[in-house]
Structure formats: structure tokens, C-alpha cells
Structure 1
């Protein structure tokens, strides 16, 4: 009997000893974990294909690539270009392209309504309060005549698209002014450069213009900013990051790491251009390398694209734009916004890297 008691005592002691070892091991792993690298790199290098044409709103992609944020997760990125969204969207839906940029328009929403399955996964462009990168300008010789929004009545106003986000912002401005669409002359002018020429030739009075042409036109005394788009469309969602459903599900481990790197990059961008708290020259150099705007000094003058450092988009505004197109008879079909707007990658990435505090 004593012999069995000794065996039992020995067994209990061994269990307690092994339990202490396990507890010690767990504590050691927690203490030693690198707080700056909470997501382990992928075991093998993964390639993510991004459809991007060198637009300034692609800042998050360029900065994450050049600063090694993708590389730290063992991700390589490959940029692909497409002639238009009609070619690009099916490539994203099929998984041929993992990530892309999308700009709101009736045709864009119609493609999704007709079965092109893409998800809106992060912010890729909005206006910064009081310094919009996409806003109205007034002809230089009319700046003292057209000073209030109601003064646009009877004027010729150039807009680059009909039933697109440009048209939506144009409509918001008119509503703010208390002026109907019938009381102005809508001039469809798809090329922003042509708007500059038309201003110089006094063919139009105002235009919904984009940077860097806004600043260049001011410097050349062709036009002046007319108010600011955030006066009447403060949460206009101009561009979104699109994700392939295949990327979001079958390659989830890659997608979360991609988003964490993207958010790190747009935080650097926000720090440089919005907060002015450092690394401005580095970020300008990266932007100049990847976009058509090579002048470093001009980057310091322009109103830059707003990019939410926490990645969230203005969901209600996306829905409002859809309703605007629908009311004008430009939409055929319904959209499932619960499925289409998917912030889950952003939310998972923020759990890892933390929320950005202004």
C-alpha cells in the first residue's frame, strides 16, 4: 500500500512540475514578443497585384512599398494598369487582380449590380476640410463678381463626368447655393487640362478642377479657388480601395498583412501632409517617383488627397451617391451594401497595429 502511495505522490509532483514549466514558457513568449512586429511575416513570399495608374490617391501603396512595410510581412507587390474600369473590375472580381482603386460613378455601380463582385475595403480619397484636392475654381477675371455660391446662377460650369462623383459634388454645390440645375449651364469637359484652356479663353466661368491643376492655375492667374468642396460635401467619398473576394477569403492571411502595411503607409502620409510633423521630404520623394507630379515644391503647395489613417470610408456618402444616380435614372439594379462595403480587413489590421489618434 505504501508502494502505491509513493507512486501516486510522484505522479502528482511530476504534473505540478510540468505545469509550472508550461506556465513559465508561456510567460517568456509573451514578454519576448516584439511589439513593433505583432504580425509574423508570411512563411513564404506572396505577391499581391495592385491595379494602379500612378494617381496621387495611390499614396498608401507607393509608400508601403518604398518604406518596406509590405516587405516586413514577406509581401511583394506588382502594379498593373488597365485602360478603364470596364477592363479592371472583372479582373478584380476574378482574382486576377487582388486590389484596385475605384471611383464612384453610375457605370461603376451598375457593373456591381449586374454581378461584378468586388468589395470596398478602405479609403482611397476624400477632401481635407478647407483644402480640397478636388473642388471648384472661378475664372480669374470673375473672382470679384462671383464671390458667393448663389452667384453661380446663369454661369457656365465645367464638370468632367455626368453621373459620376464629379456630377454628385456639382449637384451638392448647387443645392448649397439654392440654385437649380436648370439655372446654370452644365458643360461636360472630360479633360481637366482642357478646363484650364477654356478658362484662359473665357469659354467657361467655373470648373470642378483637380490638383495639381488647381494650384498651377492659381499660380498662372488663370483661376482662383471658389470656396471649398467641404463647405457642401464634407464627407464625399471620391475613391475607394477595392478588394477581390478571393483575396479577402482564400488569401485572408495575406490580405490582413497587406492592410496593416497600407495603414502604416497612409499614417506616414497623413503625418507628413496633414499634420506637418516630420518626414515630409521622404514622402514627397516617394510621391514624385510614383506620380506624374515631379516638382517637390509643388507638392508643398497643393491640396493633397485625404486618406483616413484608420482606413474607414464614408459609408453613408457612398449610399447617397448611389441614390443620386438612381434618382436620375442612371442605375439599373440594386446593391447589397452590407456585402459590398467590407471594413473587416481594416478592423483586423487596427486590432494589430492600433487605432491612429490625431
Structure 2
């Protein structure tokens, strides 16, 4: 009888230990602000294969989203007129936005989206979006004052391209009347126009900058960070529903995104060797398939701590407004929302250069 009682007591003690252990584990998980979600959550990202989507691609392929039980789905749209309403309605959770008057006008007219993280700026000395000069003019157009009287191609009017163009003219001390502004929407056509000597300079983008150099069509003309060091070229947009109703998912998404950006920064800015993994991911997701060329191009700048150049965004808006291209007013305190980035960084820590 005593043996039975001792046996029952022993079994009871073991069961109590197991129960306590489970309770402790559950409590620990509940205290982890980035514990995997209890159920798989889908996040729809509007992304068209642009290089500035690096954080998304790397986080997906390296399993950072999966770590938090997040499944991402990439969706493509023909233009921002289709994409922005989808973000505002919550049909799309996250997207990329390029600064332009039409973009700001859409928001001013009631399209409710938030700017939640950096998705593109120039790196000092190796801008991915900068001016090039025709190969045969590289010895005569050397300094900024040399652009006077020249034909300069820009892809979009009243957009970030136009803003950077205007900043260069101000830096050069040259008025808009002293140069010829050539609107040329296709970057590929700019290279052809260079070859035919129809234009002298162009605001070009990678990988076409490097490809044009290799083909002796054009050469880099100094660097855009000389006069627009904090030009915010693209932003990560978030749906208000995603940021509020699905905040637990959004926080984990941002933590994974920033980890992807940090891996990208390690490779392309710090030069850390990862045996080609990040370059392979970029080649897989973008139009630039040549892994060797990825080692030459000026890559998109992405802030490993997520913040955007807020003052520059407002400066661009003011430029469009001064040009008469803006309809309505914007409250940037409402539109720019860095709270998700800040919340994620508080958990994962600040990236140190």
C-alpha cells in the first residue's frame, strides 16, 4: 500500500513539474514581442522587381518572414493609380512609393497611406540615380558650371527626377533658362539619344549607368550626393489597416524587413563576404541577372535603421507646389509614420556602421 502511495505521489510530482515547465514556456513566449505568430499570416507586397525592394527579397529568401510565421505574396500593378487605392483599402499591406506631384496629389485627395520606412536613397560617391555625360563630352563637361547651354534629359517632370535636376542647377548657379530641359520618359531611350548625340547629359539609373559606361556611351558626371545628399527617392508605404488592425503582424514584418536590409547593407556597403548569397538573391528577383555586374553598379541606398529623410520629402513636396503641380494640402505629421520602425528597432537594436 505504501509503495502505491509513493508511486502515485512520484507520478503526481512529475506531472506537476511538466505542467510548471509548460506554463513557464508559455509565459516566456508571451513576453517575447517577436515570438512567431500563432497562425500563419499573409502579407501582400506591391513590388515590381525593382532593386529598391532588396529588403523584401532578402527577408523572404533567407527565411526572416517565415521565422515569424509570415507568408509574403508579391503583387504587381500597372501604375500607382491602381496601386495606391489597393494599399489604402488594405487589399495590399505594403508597397513602394516614388516621390512625385501626382503621388502627393492622390494622397491629398483622400488616398490614405503611410510612409513607414526607407526604400531608396543615394549612397555618397556611388549614387544609383545620378547624371551621366556623353562619352565624347567627358573632357569638356567636367564641372557643374560646364553644363550651361547643354541639353539635359530627365525622365519625369514634377517628380523626384525633376527635383534632383533642379537641385543640380542651383548647385551649379545656373538658371533653368540657361539649359535645355529634355523630357524623355524611357531610360533606355536616353542611352540611344546619347549615342546619336541628341542630348549631352541625362539623369540615369542603374544598371544602365554602369552598362552605358562599359559600352562607352556615357560616363558618370560627378555625383548626385554633391547637391542632393538626402534626396528621398522611394519610401515603403503601409496600409493604415495593416498598421493598426494587424499591428502584431506589421511589427514582425518590419523586423524581418530591416534584417533583410541589414544583410544587404553588410554586403554592398560594408563589403562583408557572404559567398554571393545576397547578390544571388538580387539577381533572382530583379532584371539585373548578371551577378558580376552587381559588383560594379552603384546600388540603391537603404537605411538599415529604416528611417527616411523626412525633411527632404517635405522639400520635394514644396518644389512641386511651387511649380503649381500640387492640388490640396498634406499633413506630413500624419502621413510619415516611423512608429513601426522605432518599435522594431527598440527590440532588435540599432544597426551600427
TM-score, length basis structure 1: 0.90
Which stretches in structure 1 are left out of the alignment for 5+ residues? Answer: 1-23
The alpha carbon displacement at 1:29 in A equals 6.8
The aligned counterpart of 2:4 is none
The alpha carbon displacement at 1:280 in A equals 5.6
Counterparts of 1:163-202 in structure 2, within 5 Å, are 163-202=158-197
The aligned counterpart of 1:294 is 289
The aligned counterpart of 1:130 is 125
Which of residues 81, 84, 97 is equivalent to 1:86? 81
Instruction: Say whether 1:119 aligns with 2:129.
Output: no
Q: CA 1:255–1:226 in structure 2 vs 1: closer, same or farther (change >3 Å)?
A: same
Counterparts of 1:28-177 in structure 2, within 5 Å, are 39-177=34-172
Secondary structure of 1:240's partner?
Answer: strand
Paired residues of 1:273 and 1:280 also in contact (CA < 8 A): no
List structure 1 runs of 4+ shifted beyond 2 angstroms. Answer: none
Secondary structure of 2:276's partner?
Answer: helix
Per-residue displacement from partner, 1:63-84 (whole Å, max 9, x unpaired)? 0000000000000000000000
Per-residue displacement from partner, 1:63-120 (whole Å, max 9, x unpaired)? 0000000000000000000000000000000000000000000000000001100000
Rounded to whole Å, the distance in 2 between the matches of 1:242 and 1:132 is 23
Rounded to whole Å, the distance in 1 between the matches of 2:275 and 2:193 is 34
Secondary structure of 1:196's partner?
Answer: helix
Instruction: Say whether 1:277 aligns with 2:277.
Output: no
Rounded to whole Å, the distance in 2 between the matches of 1:38 and 1:307 is 25
The alpha carbon displacement at 1:330 in A equals 0.2
Instruction: Say whether 1:350 aligns with 2:349.
Output: no
Instruction: Say whether 1:325 aligns with 2:325.
Output: no
Paired residues of 1:106 and 1:330 also in contact (CA < 8 A): yes
Which of residues 226, 240, 245 is equivalent to 2:240? 245
Q: CA 1:129–1:280 in structure 2 vs 1: closer, same or farther (change >3 Å)?
A: farther
Rounded to whole Å, the distance in 2 between the matches of 1:40 and 1:48 is 17
Per-residue displacement from partner, 1:321-352 (whole Å, max 9, x unpaired)? 00000000000100010110000000010011
TM-score, length basis structure 2: 0.92
Which stretches in structure 2 are left out of the alignment for 5+ residues? Answer: 1-19
Rounded to whole Å, the distance in 1 between the matches of 2:34 and 2:249 is 11
The alpha carbon displacement at 1:278 in A equals 2.1
The alpha carbon displacement at 1:279 in A equals 1.3
Per-residue displacement from partner, 1:192-227 (whole Å, max 9, x unpaired)? 000000000000000000000000000111000000
The aligned counterpart of 2:249 is 254
Instruction: Say whether 1:309 aligns with 2:309.
Output: no
Secondary structure of 1:275's partner?
Answer: coil
Rounded to whole Å, the distance in 2 between the matches of 1:260 and 1:39 is 8
